Every structure is written in structure tokens, then in C-alpha cells.
Structure 1
């Protein structure tokens, strides 16, 4: 039996008003992160954040994820079971910056930390490293206040470079990646981590010296 083609455009039109709140949530979190950037730079003369990138999952991706989970398609199920509809990726220079940023985020009274996945201290078997926060933030609408989930992925430049390449390779081979490339990716992840540690040590060494006037 041929499966009927899904009308993604029609679903998007139906869902877009319900998902607008995720855009507002991203706006809120982006504003907070930019304030942290400027405030940290002013106080410590150092900016822990290099780049911020945000996105809202497409209806196609949400539908595919619901189907993989064997969950019926509905707005309610999407909101309940898909936690990364709104996502933000933050890139830092150093591993220590990642944990500093997490500590600052935790101090915000209006941010509720729902889940922390630390793939830096506990990398995935393929070598993937990043720190994932699932947060809930209140969005103040004209008629109500709605809590909205946002996933924040925080990683170094080296981690982000590796993850981008890994994604491209898996997309190129439609997830059927040759074994030798998987092995090389794991080796590259180890090299990227070594680079992060080396750069952290160089930064710490630099900070022990005081430049005289």
C-alpha cells in the first residue's frame, strides 16, 4: 500500500499560530544571551560566547520525529513530546566558558532547567561532544503566560566544526557511513578534544603573566 504524501505546507499553515510562541521564546533567550555577552565582557574583559545561532524545527522534521516515536500527529503531541522545537546553539572559545555560561544561566530566576546532558564529560561513542540544556522559559502573551521549552546546545568551536562535518558525512551517505570513515571521525573527535585542552592550557598559562606598563 502506497503511503499518502503528507501535506507539510497545509500542516504548517494549521500549526504556525501555535508555534509562534516558540519564536517568542527564542527571542527571549537570545536577548538573555546577548546581555550575558556584553555584561561579561564589561565585568571580566572577556566574552565567553563566540556565536549564537537559533532555529525552529520545520513541520517536516517535527512530523518525522513524531512518526519515529510512533506518536499520532497533532499540535498537542508535538508540544508535549518534541522538546527541541525551539533550539539555540551557542559556540564558546574554551571548555571552561561552557560551564561558566551554564552557571550564569542557572542563576536566572525565570529559567527552569529541566534537563542537562553533558556530552563533554561523557562523550557519545562516536566522539560527539557538547553540553545540552533543556530549559523552560515563560513567554508573556497578551492573554496569558505560557511556559515554553527551548533546547540550548553549548560547544566549543572545535566541537562545532566536528559536529558540522559529521552531520554532512551522515547526510551524504544517508546514514550508511563506511566503517573507515566512522573510525576517522572518532579519531578527529579525539584530535578536536586535544586541541580544546591545549588551547585551555595556553589560555591559563597566558593569564599567569602580567604585562607591565
Structure 2
């Protein structure tokens, strides 16, 4: 995949990402106007880099090509929505699911059922309509919704275990940290 092919390929994913970012921001602002509160602390976004796309295709045993990326990857465009509390996450997800022009492609609730290592997050891939001069096509955008403590845990675990190759050494400690953070969140939510 050349750099020029990559840039042409990701353009509609960028358009879909912008579309979904605006939707999430509008929901947060509307919630603020109606309830003098807001569920979202902040939003991050990214388009997967060319090298990352190629590495993921290779790791999963797929040919490195535009067609393979289009057919096998649903996380080329990504949003990370950081909420205050777990109930805010489910509230945002429910509001997004009510929008009838986006479709659910894949959904994983790692809050209700955390991964064995302690990872907690809510992942949902939406097909987002992108309108161009020659018609409309849906493009996948993955949203990861986390609380601030889930994001702290995931960022530190990624840095220390995944990128630092210390997964075996730190695994038990990170399971304990995840449990402690979950208890802290639950205790704080009782003040609402």
C-alpha cells in the first residue's frame, strides 16, 4: 500500500469519524442544556496509521492491501469517549443506538464482563453513512467508552505490559488495580 493509496483510502473513514464526533458532541451539549450536567469528560479520536493497518493485517494473516483493510478491519477510524461514571457510558450508548441512520456492526461490553486481565471498556462499532457525489456508503467507526479510571488503567497497562513487554510480571498487579478502581468508582457514584 503506497502512501497515496493510504491517504485516498482513509478519507471516507475520516469523514465518518467527523460525522460521529459531531453526533457525540451534540448529545453531550444537549444533555448539558437539559440537565445542567454532562456525561462526557472528553473525547479522543484517531485514524489508524498506514503501518498500523499493515501490521494488523499481517498479524491476522490477511494480505496487505486496500481491499483486505476494507474487508477485515473495523477500527480504522476510532473514537474514545471518556465519561465520568459507568451509568454515563450506558446512557451515551443508548442515545447513539436511537439514531436510526447509523447501524451497529459489532458490540462488546467489557464493563459487564471484564477481560481476564481486568480490562474494562464498552466497544461498539457503528456503520456511519458517508455521502459523496456518487452516492452513500457506510463506513465503520469504533467507539470505546470508558470512565476516567478505566482509561487510566488501560493506558498504564498498555504502556507497561503491552508496549513494555512486562505482561507476565505485572498481570496480577493490574488485575488488583482494576478491582480497586472499580470499587472506587462505585463508591463515588453513590454520592450522586
Instruction: Verify the 8 A CA contact 2:160 2:166 in the aligned structure 1.
Output: no
User: Higher relative CO (CA 8 A, sep ≥ 6), structure 1 or 2?
Assistant: 2
Cα offsets for 1:84-113 (capped at 9, x unmatched): 000000000010000000110001011101
2:92 pairs, out of 89, 96, 101, with 101
Q: Does 1:71 align with 2:62?
A: yes
2:10 pairs, out of 9, 14, 19, with 19
Instruction: Verify the 8 A CA contact 2:80 2:143 in the aligned structure 1.
Output: yes
Q: Does 1:195 align with 2:184?
A: yes
Shift of 1:176: 4.2
Larger Rg: 1
2:190 aligned counterpart, secondary structure: helix
TM-score of the superposed pair, with normalisation by structure 1: 0.87
Uncovered stretches (5+) of structure 1, i.e. residues with no partner: 1-9, 204-213
C-alpha distance in structure 2 between counterparts of 1:11 and 1:199, whole Å: 50
Instruction: Verify the 8 A CA contact 2:46 2:79 in the aligned structure 1.
Output: yes
Q: Does 1:37 align with 2:44?
A: no
Give the alignment of 1:1-213 within 5 angstroms.
11-173=2-164, 175-179=165-169, 181-203=170-192
Moved more, 122-131 or 194-203: 194-203
Query: For this pair of structures, how many residues does the alignment match?
Result: 192
TM-score of the superposed pair, with normalisation by structure 2: 0.96
Uncovered stretches (5+) of structure 2, i.e. residues with no partner: none
Shift of 1:141: 1.1
